Amino acid sequence: MTSSGRPGDASGAAEMGTLIDQIRSIVGPAGLLTAPEDFSSYACDWRKRYSGRPLAVVKPASTAEVARVVSACAETRTAIVPQGGNTGLCGAATPDASGSQIVLALSRMNRILAVDPLNDTITAEAGCVLSRLQGAATEAERLFPLSLAAEGSCQIGGNISTNAGGTAVLRYGNARELVLGLEVVLPSGDTWDGLRGLRKDNTGYDLKQLFIGAEGTLGVITAAVLKLFPLPRSRATAVVGVQTPDQALGLLNRARGVGGERLTAFELFSDFCLSLVLKHFTDTVAPFRRRFPFYVLVELSDTQPGEGVRILAEKVLGSALEERIILDAVIAQSETQARALWKLREFVSEAQAREGPNIKHDVSIPISRIAEFIAATDAELARAHPGVRMVTFGHLGDGNVHYNVSSPEGAAAEEFSRNPGAINRIVHDGVARFGGSISAEHGLGQLKREEILRYKSPLEMDLMRSVKRSLDPLGIMNPGKVL
């Protein structure tokens, strides 16, 4: 393994011309964009926080093409930025401004390669859009549980590369837990075929784990074998009013103990979140006549059809109400009502965006301490920045909240959100104090690459760098991200 050079440095304009010609000969004209006016949707991230200037956008049609493109880039020390649906929230798929990096977009590699209901697996290329995968599973009377706001445009390769979370983690795990096998083009241009569909395989190091959640810094995921699950045949959806997140946790403990793995969603949102949704989505209605400080969306589901799961939900919520663990509850009586309740939670992200910018955090805390974290950090923020308004919502059942901070009423939201440093410090130091993570499901990308240095030990950073060096000695794979 040779020492790493800074990618891009060695290559003059003439050599770049050669590289582009070489890439064109690999992917054909349909697979190559070189005109800056065609770059826009690839050069900027979804939130419009990061904007770069790629040398070219390359769209291979097969794994073999990816491998040849990566080889050509390795030869010229050209940096590669793998890109899926470009819906990431931390800028991991955005090239830098040097004009020397290529964006490798997987969108043309979008085939479902196999569905095997008896093995409970689906195999797909990396560019397959998540909602298509979900649909193919349903057609086979199976569930592919990964579900998140961007599911109509995010791609499974990106989901795996960021170890995506979403609303089904409580029951089915993160993207990592759903992967059985991977095919990866390594930074050398070699293709590792780890496309296995096995539940058990203890023949050495589990290499696929390296690439899951690595945000494209160790290789390009080109295909995956994913787990399927039995299709739920009944569902009960409820919204519950509580005084505090701590009360919500009391209900979580109860619901999981009684319902077991029927509990498929446990999502928190504050009354301020609800007010934003009601304001910006006029077709939504408040779940109760009264308002409560916090709400929880609870969902139970079962492979058994019928009323069993609704009766169970009534039992759990009824006894919680009697024992004053919760303040009120409404259970959907139809699929339409269930959809309406889900909207109150799902629209929070978009409602806060319409309201104006705020300072976002995606944190996780051990579930037993998350209520304490919220209370302590709310208090500390209120002391240090009087009047700030908390947009607190997320996957409480996973210990994961999007703990966003809005400017005081009347203050300039733009200016407030442009200077997140002091707020981040309070929130992230709090996270560290409570044994949590400053990026629960969004990754590091560019956004938290510096911030993480404050919270991870130098030893852990060294270990990560050592893994990076051993797989990508030239440093061409998505440089400037994660590490």
Within positions 426 to 455, which residues make up the interface with a copy of itself, using CB under 8 A?
435-444, 448, 452, 455
User: Under the criterion CB under 8 A, does residue 365 sit at the interface with a copy of itself?
Assistant: yes
Site for a copy of itself in 225-244 (CB under 8 A): 229-232
Q: How far apart are CA 88 and CA 42, in angstroms?
A: 12
Could you tell me the CA-to-CA distances from 77 to 18, 60, 103, 478 in Å, in that order? 13, 19, 14, 12
- Note whether 113 binds a copy of itself by CB under 8 A: no
Q: Is 281 in the site for a copy of itself (CB under 8 A)?
A: no
In the region spanning residues 462 to 481, those forming contacts with a copy of itself, defined by CB under 8 A, are 463-464, 466-471
* 415 scored as a contact of a copy of itself (CB under 8 A): no
Q: What is the four-CA torsion angle of 172, 173, 174, 177, rounded to 10 degrees?
A: -100
- What residues have CB less than 8 Å from 440, skipping those under 6 apart? 165, 362, 363, 364, 398, 399, 400
Of the residues 31, 241, 357, 399, which one makes contact with a copy of itself according to CB under 8 A: 399
Residue 59 or 468 having the CB closest to a copy of itself: 468
User: In this structure, are residues 175 and 442 in contact, taking their beta carbons and an 8 Å threshold?
Assistant: no
Burial bucket for residue 111 (CB in 10 Å: 0-12, 13-18, 19+): middle
Which residue, 31 or 399, is less far from a copy of itself as judged by CB?
399
Tell me: does residue 197 bind a copy of itself (CB under 8 A). yes
The single residue among 78, 147, 400, 424 that binds a copy of itself, judged by CB under 8 A, is 400
Helix (H) or strand (E) holding 196: none
Q: Quote the least distance from Cβ 209 to a copy of itself, whole Å.
A: 4
Would you say 222 and 66 are in contact if contact means Cβ atoms under 8 Å apart?
yes
Considering only residues 192, 293, 343, 350, which one is a binding residue for a copy of itself as defined by CB under 8 A? Answer: 192
Using CB under 8 A, pick the residue from 213, 245, 287, 479 that binds a copy of itself: 213
Residue 206 or 415 with smaller CB distance to a copy of itself: 206
Q: Which stretch binds a copy of itself (CB under 8 A): 42-50, 51-59, 259-267, 289-297?
A: 259-267
| Token digits of residue 409 | 């009423």
Alpha carbon separation from 230 to 38, 120, 164, 257, 386 (Å, rounded)? 43, 8, 21, 22, 50
User: Closest separation between CB of residue 127 and a copy of itself, Å?
Assistant: 21
78, 163, 167, 417: residue in contact with a copy of itself (rule CB under 8 A): 163
Note whether 311 binds a copy of itself by CB under 8 A. Answer: no
* 307 is a site residue for a copy of itself (CB under 8 A): no
Q: In the stretch 117-156, what mask flags binding to a copy of itself with x, by CB under 8 A?
A: xxxxx-------------------x---------------
CA 383 remoteness from chain centre: 32
In the three-class reduction of DSSP (H, G, I as helix; E, B as strand; rest coil), residue 222 is classed as: strand
Of 64, 471, 185, nearest in space to 194 by CA: 185
Q: Which residues partner with 221 through β-bridges?
A: 184
Contact 125, 110 (CB under 8 A): yes
Instruction: Provide the terminal-to-terminal Cα distance of the chain, rounded to the nearest Å.
Output: 20
194 forms part of the interface with a copy of itself (CB under 8 A): yes
Q: Is 249 in the site for a copy of itself (CB under 8 A)?
A: yes
Q: Which stretch binds a copy of itself (CB under 8 A): 48-56, 69-77, 276-284, 301-309?
A: 301-309
| CB nearer to a copy of itself: pick between 159 and 270 | 159
Residues 3-32 that bind a copy of itself (CB under 8 A): none
